[in-house]
Amino acid sequence: MYYIWNRVKKDFNVTITKENTMSSDSAKDDDVNLADQSEAGKNIVTAKADNKSMGDIFPDLGPETPVISGVAHDRTESLVTVRGVPDEPGMAARVFTELAKSGINIDMIVQAGASTGKADISFTVPDSTVKTVEKALDNKKAKLGYDSYFVNTNVGKVAVVGVGMKTHSGLAAKFFEALSAKHINVMMISTSEIRIAALVPLDQLDDAVRALHTAYGLDSDQVEAVVYGGTGR
């Protein structure tokens, strides 16, 4: 903070005055007012911006730096695919509403349409809720109008976590190149501003974790599980 304050004092025209009260009417549009309560009253710092942005004042801070801080995995998820769902507005909402009524936590979701007017909806759930999912789908088959469903328990999720994914290109490409080089099949993909995740066959999960550790310069002798099933983390 001392460094930043001195930078502000140097690059702005800063004046300090003491007043017992503050009036917003007295502040100009191009001024920055900071107030700090003290025993003698309020110290009001008025800084003339001179049309300078924070980027002009602190150019050395630079843009968001792409940093992959870790590789995580989860081997406690299952993949459920509901086949032949009517391809019409509101069907996905009906499927997930029925699952929500049974207290089922959904993580990754993919829907694939077809020219036949039917669609397949795939999603992952914690292994511990598979029987509850099956019961819910069996009980609501007539209402949902799907053809069949399939549960695959031999899957695992691997993810890289970090910052800068939104503002820097190539991070996703490196992720999938690393998996491809080890002939690892990607079954489902999920992304956010801080994470890239993929569902892979369970017997390839450890290889996927090691491949990503190497690709992002995070080599480790141990594979750590820090993603928790069904949470999306």
Task: Please report, rounded to a whole number, the percentage of residues in the chain having pLDDT higher than 70.
Answer: 65
Most confident of 22-26, 78-82, 110-114: 78-82
Task: Tell me how far apart the alpha carbons of residues 93 and 91 are, in angstroms, rounded to a whole number.
Answer: 5
Q: Check residue 217 and give its pLDDT.
A: 87
Contacts of 201 (CB under 8 A, 6+ apart): 154, 155, 156, 184, 185, 187
Q: Check residue 3 and give its pLDDT.
A: 45
C-alpha angle 31/35/41, rounded to 5°? 130
168 vs 43, which has greater pLDDT? 168
**Do residues 153 and 125 lie in contact, with contact meaning Cβ atoms separated by under 8 Å?**
no
Q: Of 196, 211, 194, whose CA–CA distance to 157 is shortest?
A: 196
Residue 4 clears pLDDT 50, i.e. is over it: no
Q: Which 3-state string (H, E, C) describes 97-136?
A: HHHHHCCCCCCCEEEEECCCCEEEEEEEEEHHHHHHHHHH
Q: What tokens were used for 58?
A: 């602190």
Contacts of 69 (CB under 8 A, 6+ apart): 161, 162, 163
H/E run at residue 201: strand 195-201
Superfamily of domain 63-233: VC0802-like (3.30.2130.10)
Task: Tell me how far apart the alpha carbons of residues 170 and 109 are, in angstroms, rounded to a whole number.
Answer: 24
Q: Over the chain, what is the mean pLDDT?
A: 77
206 vs 25, which has greater pLDDT? 206
> Could you state, in order of their start, the residue ranges of all structural domains in the chain?
2-61, 63-233
Residue 110 clears pLDDT 50, i.e. is over it: yes
C-beta neighbour count of 197 within 10 angstroms: 23
Mean pLDDT of 163-186: 88
Task: Tell me how far apart the alpha carbons of residues 106 and 77 are, in angstroms, rounded to a whole number.
Answer: 10
Distances (CA, A) of 41 to 21, 34, 36, 142: 8, 13, 9, 72
For residue range 67-83, list pLDDT tens digits in order. 788 999 999 999 999 99
Q: Of 174, 154, 159, whose CA–CA distance to 225 is shortest?
A: 159
Residue 17 clears pLDDT 80, i.e. is over it: no
How sure is the predictor about 230, in pLDDT bands with cuts at 50, 70 and 90?
A: very low
